[in-house]
Chain A
């Protein structure tokens, strides 16, 4: 064992320099040619304010398309899920309350049309997306609150549906982008 101590120490030092020094610096260098220099993709609204396109925001106001419930209240410095088990009574009460609140704010909708993603919290608590069904079911409310033509809002949602990537993966709507463009609508 004694014989191995010095080589182990020295090899550790060079490995730290190489894997924790050279490698991240190399990646940081490549990041400088990536969009927004590797500081996270941003998107600007009409007033020039920027937001992180991938970081979901809390939308609970009736005039915006709602985002999903979040166990951490969309705290982008403390991500996490609810970690509630599927048969936890507290959890089921919470889902029920979310359904009731959703029904209350979207009068006239059919309960059987509410997709589960609108009443369950995401794994990160920062999910930037909702399902297409989740966006469509809110169209009537948005049109009413904003005094917009329903068909126009519908068309806006359609334009914001991200299809599967090369035929793979689910369809989804980025709520942040949708709401920014909604705000820009006259």
Chain B
């Protein structure tokens, strides 16, 4: 057991040690200072911008940045829809996988576009290598780059000055992909090649097992895919079982590497903010708030998983490894529990164990991680979500001390507050409305017609549940929480590859991706244009533990008020039943 604790501690500490220098590097990349990767990427980027007829030196305002962001995202969406709907005749399809249905393609394309990975298909049978590499892996790079570029615009807006010129969106975007994501990916993928992850374009291999059964072993260009899947916090697995699959995550070492790869940039973005805006103390306060939340969620989860399932204990067997249903022996319960919380507080959504089979406490903590969605958060967007809570905390703190709220020497006024409130409340709105509709349909066992059919061809809505009772409710709650947090993990028992879930999830995904990008960028853009007021004795200091506590309290209050009733019906009721 001690060896498992050590593994978890090493993962966390190593990430922190790498994240600080990487944060400094990211700050340099965004501010255009010289970095060691210049020698490779300066000529490449210059060529790319020349071909694209973009002058990266021209600065944009916040509105123009958003227009550019949304336009290029639309182009990507159309391209990937094309890939998925035509993959059967496109090249690189050795296993002859069919085209996706339109509703599944809609869900999949949006899912990867918004840096989520709600995979309603299984990688082995649902997509060709062409779709994997040219569609999904492409989006894993550029959607991560989009989030980081939006964060860079916000960083730029939060500097101590007054401006409406916030850098060039395309420049931030491309630099994020080439200079930050790509080098880390090459390193991560190379390690995987030597741990046993395949990187081949050959199709299924058929062989006979030792016992004499025929086996069909799916392979593919997995190593390149698995690297960006984590570095870009997308989380979409090459295979159906995601990082539980022994090709996708073959060893304990590869597990550590994947874990570090996914938390690294969310950590580093916080420090990058500190270096970029010269607010290092504030960055550490932010990181402290995030880490406190992470630890509060991760410790009970580890305990619950290591203790195992009380029902299995009653049957009289031993649980030396803890709750092993849905888990891999090579990782053990502790590393899987750590992963389950890490992947939900950041928006990765990759899994190395099946979340549906976790204990109720763990399921609740995973959902809380996604409901708050800014204890680190996904690359770039995690910081943006956190920023909304900071604005709310500044406002409440301002009211408490009886002064106009200020952040970084800029006044926060009604317009900014309205945007922040809309963004903060929209997340619970999407989750709760979606869950309410789905559970109403399931509870009434509605005939869903075209919208849903289970494996037996029945159209009853309750057929999409894989588990009865409270856990079934949790499956639906988890699904919409995962969508709205752009996370992508699931209680995968839910039968979600049908028009009802594909379409409704796709809509939630779109809203929950782009509004939380538009909102913070707009707030930051408005703030940037305001007059800079130097700090005085009456200014609410933000780089203190007290302010950190205030931000934390705001998060807890919003999450508790919005989600407690829903959690009480799902995991909390399930826990009470089991104990």
Contacts and interface: CB of A to CB of B under 8 A. Distances in A.
Given A18-B48, A83-B354, A112-B318, A54 B53 contact: no
A37 interface: yes
Contacts of B311: 86-87, 92
Nearest to A57: B209
A79 B137 CA distance: 20
B328 A123 contact: yes
B189 interface: yes
Contacts of B544: none
Name which of A35, A55, A95, A168 has the most chain B CB atoms within 10 A of its CB: A168
B194 A35 contact: yes
Query: Contact residue range for chain B?
Result: 35 or more
A12 B122 CA distance: 27
Interface in A44-76: 45, 49-61, 64, 68, 74-76
Interface string B342-382: 00000000011110111110000000000000000000000
Contact of B138 (A19, A39, A78): A19
Contacts of B578: 86-87
B25 interface: no
Contact of B317 (A13, A16, A114, A183): A114
Given A82-B326, A125-B241, A37 B200 contact: yes
A120 B75 CA distance: 45
Nearest to A132: B320
B182 interface: yes
A86 to B, nearest CB: 5
A81 B357 contact: yes
Given A4-B71, A11-B54, A40-B196, A87 B328 contact: no
A18 B47 CA distance: 12
Interface residues of A, number: 101
Interface string A1-35: 10011111111111110111001101110110011
B467 A88 contact: yes
Nearest to A24: B224
Given A87-B469, A120-B324, A172-B329, A76 B493 contact: no
A20 B141 CA distance: 9
Interface in A96-132: 96, 99, 111-117, 119-131
A172 B54 contact: no
Given A38-B199, A84-B325, A179 B317 contact: no
Contacts of A51: 207, 209-210
B325 A131 contact: no
B324 A116 contact: yes
Contacts, number: 367
Given A8-B68, A11-B174, A38-B193, A96 B4 contact: no
A88 B47 CA distance: 58
Interface in A140-186: 164-165, 167-172, 176, 179-180, 183
Interface in B32-60: 44, 47-48, 51-54
Contacts of B141: 15, 19
Nearest to A26: B186
B200 A7 contact: no
B48 A170 contact: no
Nearest to B79: A12
Contact of B247 (A5, A40, A172): A40
B53 A7 contact: yes
B211 A127 contact: no
Given A34-B193, A169-B331, A170-B321, A124 B245 contact: yes
A183 B227 CA distance: 37
Interface stretch (B212-220, B264-272, B426-434, B523-531): B212-220
Contacts of B312: 95, 116, 120
Contacts of B322: 116
Contacts of B244: 79, 81, 122-124
B6 interface: yes
Contact of A9 (B75, B217, B241): B75
B134 interface: yes
Interface of A: 1, 4-16, 18-20, 23-24, 26-28, 30-31, 34-35, 37-41, 45, 49-61, 64, 68, 74-89, 91-92, 95-96, 99, 111-117, 119-131, 133, 164-165, 167-172, 176, 179-180, 183
Given A30-B199, A76-B218, A111-B317, 15 more contacts: A24-B199, A24-B224, A34-B193, A38-B223, A55-B246, A61-B211, A77-B95, A80-B492, A81-B353, A82-B357, A99-B315, A114-B318, A124-B328, A129-B330, A169-B7
21 contacts: A7-B170, A15-B138, A16-B138, A38-B200, A50-B207, A64-B211, A76-B216, A78-B125, A82-B357, A84-B357, A85-B466, A88-B471, A92-B315, A96-B315, A114-B317, A116-B308, A124-B241, A124-B328, A128-B246, A131-B329, A168-B6
4 A-B pairs with the lowest CB-CB distances in the bound complex, closest first: A123-B244, A83-B493, A85-B471, A168-B7
